[in-house]
Every structure is written in C-alpha cells, then in structure tokens.
A and B are shown apart, each in its own frame.
Chain A
C-alpha cells in the first residue's frame, strides 16, 4: 500500500517540473510537453485520491482530462504549425505579433 503523501509528493514534483519547463524553455513544442507533464501530474493526483476514497469517480475524471489533453494537443500543434509557416520559428520569444 503506497501512502497518499508519497503520491501527492510525486504529483507535485512532476507538476513543478512542468511549470519550470513552461517558464524556462523557449521552444513552443517543449512548452507543450511541459503542459502535458502538468496534466499528467493532475491525473496522478486524481487517481491517488480515487484510491484513497475508494471511489471510481477520480478515474473517470482522468478519462475526461485525457480527452481534453488530446484535443488541446491537436489544436495547439496546428497553431504551432501555422505559426511556423508564418514566422519560420517556434521560439516563443520571437513570436510577438500582438506587440505594437
């Protein structure tokens, strides 16, 4: 039996790694991967609490989170492909179309 605290610590660690990746990296693809890491950390917390509460609802929420993540990746990668065609770069600090 794995203690809940370990699982939450692991989830928090992965989430923090994802946040650091979003903050540090300039490549939009790596930023997307970091967002995936954060979503997975949330999923891990869901499953951990589902096990702790003896309930299946947490695992069903994981299902929905995965669906949203798949939709987000499809849209986001389409946007990145479009941006790359426009600006020939995926580095987010070189993409400042809204800057006057």
Chain B
C-alpha cells in the first residue's frame, strides 16, 4: 500500500512540477505548484515526518503561495489566449473529477453506515506525529538557530516593506503635510503677510 501511495504521490509531484515550468499562464503555474507542494506533504506523511508535512501545507501551500498569487494578480500580466479544445478538455476534466468526488463521498457515506472494523484502543493511544520530539529538540539543542531565524524573518519583513514601498510619487506628495497646510491655509497667509 505504501509503495503504491508513494508512486502515486511521486508521479503527481513530478507531473505538477513539469506543469509549473511548462504552462504559459503564471496563475495556473502557481496553482500547479500548490498541488506539487501538497503531494510532497503526502510523501512526508509516508516518511513519518508529520510535523514537516503539516508545516509544508501551512507555510508553503498556504502562506507562500498566497503571496505568489497576490503578486501575480497585482501585476496583472498578459494572459494567454484560450483555445477551444483546451476549454472543452478542461470542462470534461472538471466533470469527471466532480463525478469522482461525488462517488468518493457516496462511498464514504456507505462505509460509515456499514459495520466496519472498530478501531482498537492501542491504535488510538499510539503516538501520532513527531511534533513533541521536534519541539523539544528545537527549543534545546537548536535554540540559537531558532532565535536567529526569528531575526531573519523580522529583517525580511522590514526589507520587503521598504523595497515594495519604493520611492514612488508618494514621497513627493507628502499627504499629511499638504493636508495640514491646506487646512491651516486660510489662517496662515494673514500671519505671514
């Protein structure tokens, strides 16, 4: 079962990675990258690296890709022309995937009502995940790198804000000073003259 799952996830990962670099539309590339990250999280789960898998989904597939998509849509690049065959293919794939999802839901519902094998107590009490061990190691042996990492994130945040703000026309305009000068304008010229 595990080798089969691994092959499936690996095929998904390689296919999605290829689509990332081959597709013309940056938004589609970003979404394929999300799928690639999720399949990689599946591989991590197969390797019993549960903490890494969860962080992969949260940080990569969540935060980083949201940043990517935000920038792609903010830049508003030229999109490629949609072809008729592609539309038809996509629509067909959508229907097939929707039908698969429906079948899967029905299957789960049917299994739930069927008397399945009940989970034993040992399975429930077995330790799930290695988050505890990783946390202990991270806060004892790797405490200094951990703190340096937080400083790195702070520096990156400040740098990103400073770079992205830029020296645009906003500096020359200076809205607060201009606004206060405009409100004080009627009172000021008599005093200055």
Contacts and interface: CB of A to CB of B under 8 A. Distances in A.
Interface of A: 1-2, 6-7, 10, 13-14, 17-18, 20-21, 24-25, 27, 29-30, 32-34, 36-37, 40, 43-44, 47-48, 50-51, 56-57, 59-60, 62-64, 66-75, 77-82, 84-85, 90
B26 to A, nearest CB: 5
Contacts of A69: 60, 64
B21 A20 contact: yes
Contact of B43 (A44, A68, A77): A44
Contacts of B96: none
A48 B44 CA distance: 9
B120 to A, nearest CB: 23
Contact of B47 (A24, A47, A68, A78): A47
**Main secondary structure on A side of the interface with B:** helix
B19 to A, nearest CB: 10
B35 to A, nearest CB: 12
